[in-house]
Structure formats: C-alpha cells, structure tokens
Structure 1
C-alpha cells in the first residue's frame, strides 16, 4: 500500500520551473514599477498638507460633525445614503430584465450575446464620467447622483444576476410542466424561489459599493458629501475635512457590518 502511495507521490508533475518563471516575472514587474515612482515630485507643501489632514482627523470640528442642518455632516451623510439606496433599487429593477436577456439558458444565444455586449459597454465607462455627463443633462444635485448610481449598478448587477440565472436547477421545470403548470406558475414557484435570496444578497453587496461611489460622485456635483469635502480641502479647512472623513468612516463601517449580516442570513437561509 505504501509503495503505491509513494509511487503516486513521485508521479506528481514537477512545477518548480513554472514557479520560478512566474516568480521572476512578478519580481521584474515589481522592480519596473518601483522605477516609475518619482519620490522627488513630493514637495514640502505636500507633506505639510498630509500632516494637516491627519491633524484635522485628530481634532475635528465637532459642531460641524454633529450639525443636523442641511449644511451639516449628518444631513449630508443621510443624503449620501439616500442616493446610494435609491440608485441601487432602481439599478436592480432595471438589471433583472437585462440579466434574463443575457442568460443563454433562457433566451437564444445571439440575443444573449448582444445584451452582454451592451452590459460590457455600460461597465466600461467609469462612474465619474457618467456623473459628469448627467450633471450636464440634469444639473447638479442628488438627482444626478441617483441617475449615475442607477446606470453604474445596471452593468454589474446584471452580470452577477446572469450567473445566478444560469445556475438554476432546470429539472424542476419539467416536473412543473408534467403537472400542467402555466408559464406564470413556473416563474412564480420555480424561478423566483431559487433566485430571490441570491438577488437580494447581490443587491445588498452592490449597495455597500454604491455608498462609496455616492461619496465620490459629490466631487463632480452629483450630490452627497463629496462636494463639501473637496470645498473644505480647497479652502484648507482641515478640521472640517477631518469631521467629514470621520463621518464617512463611521457610516461605511456601520453599513459594512449590516450588509455582511444580512447577506449571511440570506445565503444561509
């Protein structure tokens, strides 16, 4: 028995040359990347600004942080959550039909191929570019942020929804057909029960990501807390910068814990 095991062990293909080649390539890329970095471009003012940002985080403007008016951090954080939440809901609703049109086990392959190309194009454009486009169309404000988050969410959610749809257990449809179920009944009792938990889990995960996107979109005037952050930095009001960053960190941590809890509950039933 031991001889058979030893024989099988020694029969295992040697991967040393493969590992050496991959390690050499990675090491070469790291060294090449280090030569691209120009530490000389770091001016003394840059280090001073970095110190001021850290000092602002340590000594934040508590009045600004706890201000519940429309100009305070709390209101802006709530606005950011609202932009991310509404954009995620609309994006998920619009992503579902795109997902079914992209699933090769649901529609003909040419239709699925064309729809996937459209979704790839949607995912290719960065969110900030969409934000700049929608600012020109709808003007500055939270509505622009919602439109941007919605469009950005469609591409990624549809891609993840497709994976769930293509993993469906299709054998149940044959059983439902044999007992005379209609198409609506097949969807209601055969498809939705298999997909609802996965779709909700994916949607919650995307909401977590969209919250960060909504924070950044304020930089281009698409609502949320990003615009006050860049204005405070341009005006060198580091205490306000610290207050905004502290609020963002706390908000993202809370949403992260909540989303992980909800996703675990959904996946595990």
Structure 2
C-alpha cells in the first residue's frame, strides 16, 4: 500500500518548470514596467514640498476649519456630501429598471443584451470625463457634479443589481407564476422583498465611492471641496490645505463608520 502511494506521488504532474517560467515572465514584466518610471522631478524641491504639506497638516488653519461661511471647510464638506448623496440616490433609482431589463432570468435574451450594452457603455467613460462634459453643458458648479455622480453611479450600481437579481431563488417566482401572477406582480411580491437589503447595501457602498469621487471632481469645477484644495496647494497655502485635508479625513472616517453599521444592519440584521 505504501509503495503504491509512493509510486503515485512520484508520478504526479510536475509543474516546476512552468512555475519558474511564469515567475520569470512576471519579474520581466515588473522590470519593464519600472523602466518607464521617471523620478526626475523628485529632488530637493520635492522633499521641501512634502515637508511643507506635513507641516500644514500639523498646523492647519483653524479659522478656515471652523468658520461657517461659504469659504469655510464645513460648508464645502456639506456641499460635497450633498453632491454625493443626491448623485447616489438618482443613480440608484435609474439603475433599478435598467437592472431588471438586463436580468437574463426575468427578461428575454435580446432585451437583456441591449440593456447590458447600454450599461457597459455608461461604465466605459471615466468620471473625470463626465465631469468635463457636464461642465461644458451646465457650467461649473454643484449641478454638474450631481449629474456626473448620477451617471457614474448608474453603471456600477446596475451591474451589482443585476448580479443580485440573477441570484434570486427561482422557486418564489415559479410559485407566483403558478398562482396566476403576471411578470410585474412577480417582481412586486417575489423579487423586491428579497432584493431590497442588497439594493440598499449597494447604494450605501456607492455613496462611499461617490464621496471620494466628488472630491476629485471638484478639481475640474464640479463643486465640492476639491477646487479649494488644489487652489490652496497651487498657491502654497499649506495651512489652508492642511485644514481642508483634516476636514476630508474626519468626514471620510465618520461616513465610513456610519455606512458600515448600516450595511451590517441590512445584511446581518445585527
């Protein structure tokens, strides 16, 4: 018996050569990628700027951090949160019918295919490009950021909604169909009660993503706190930049804690 085990072990497929080749290819790709990195801008000035940023974080402008005017950090953070929240709500609402039309277990294949192509096209364009497009249409301001967040939310949220819909228990739908319920009634009474926790959890997660994206969109004039941050850094006002960064850090931590608690409540019932 032991001899048979040893013979089987000796006859095992040996992948050592393939593993070595794969490792060599990966190392070669990493070396080739590193060769394209250019650090000529890093030098004495780069170290001084990094030190100034750290100094600004350690000594933020408390007047800017606690003032309640439109130029203050609290107002800018509130504007960023509003853009993210409304963008998430609008995108999540638009994503619901798109997700149902794209679900292959609920809709005919041609309809699902066309809807998936639309969602894929929406997800292809980066948020930064959408922001530049809407700024040209509506002008700079929070409304352009709201439209950008809404459209970006549709792509990701629809994809996650589709996965949740296609993982549904088909037995519930078959029971409702046997009872004479139409397609809309099946969705209303058999699908939505199962999906609402997943939908809400996905929307909360997307709100976290939008909160960070809204900060970046502010750099192109789409409202929020991004533009004052880049202006402060461009003008070497490191104390102002430190105050804005501290506000962002505190906001992200608070929103992350609240959203995590809500998602746990929805998914686990705790």
TM-score, normalised to structure 2, is: 0.92
In the TM superposition, residue 134 of structure 1 has moved relative to its aligned partner by: 0.5
In the TM superposition, residue 45 of structure 1 has moved relative to its aligned partner by: 2.2
Cα 1:7–1:108, aligned 2, differ >3 Å: closer, same or farther?
farther
In the TM superposition, residue 183 of structure 1 has moved relative to its aligned partner by: 4.2
Whether 1:220 and 2:220 are equivalent positions in the alignment is yes
Whether 1:189 and 2:185 are equivalent positions in the alignment is no
Residue deviations 1:183-224 (CA, integer Å, cap 9, x gap): 444222200111101111111110000000011111011000
Residue deviations 1:123-168 (CA, integer Å, cap 9, x gap): 1111111111111111111111100000011111111111111111
Whether 1:80 and 2:72 are equivalent positions in the alignment is no
Partner of 1:139: 139
Q: How does 1:109-124 map to 2 (within 5 A)?
A: 109-124=109-124
Please, which runs of 5 or more residues in structure 1 have no aligned partner?
none
Cα 1:249–1:182, aligned 2, differ >3 Å: closer, same or farther?
same
Whether 1:93 and 2:108 are equivalent positions in the alignment is no
Q: How does 1:143-222 map to 2 (within 5 A)?
A: 143-222=143-222
Q: How does 1:41-80 map to 2 (within 5 A)?
A: 41-80=41-80
* Partners of 2:192 and 2:204 in 1: CA distance: 18
* Partners of 1:18 and 1:251 in 2: CA distance: 49
In the TM superposition, residue 15 of structure 1 has moved relative to its aligned partner by: 3.7
* Partners of 1:11 and 1:186 in 2: CA distance: 56
Please tell me the root mean square deviation across aligned C-alpha atoms, in Å: 2.0
* Partners of 1:212 and 1:251 in 2: CA distance: 10
* Partners of 2:254 and 2:45 in 1: CA distance: 35
Number of residue pairs matched?
269
Structure 2 counterpart SS, 1:39:
coil
TM-score, normalised to structure 1, is: 0.93
Please, which runs of 5 or more residues in structure 2 have no aligned partner?
none
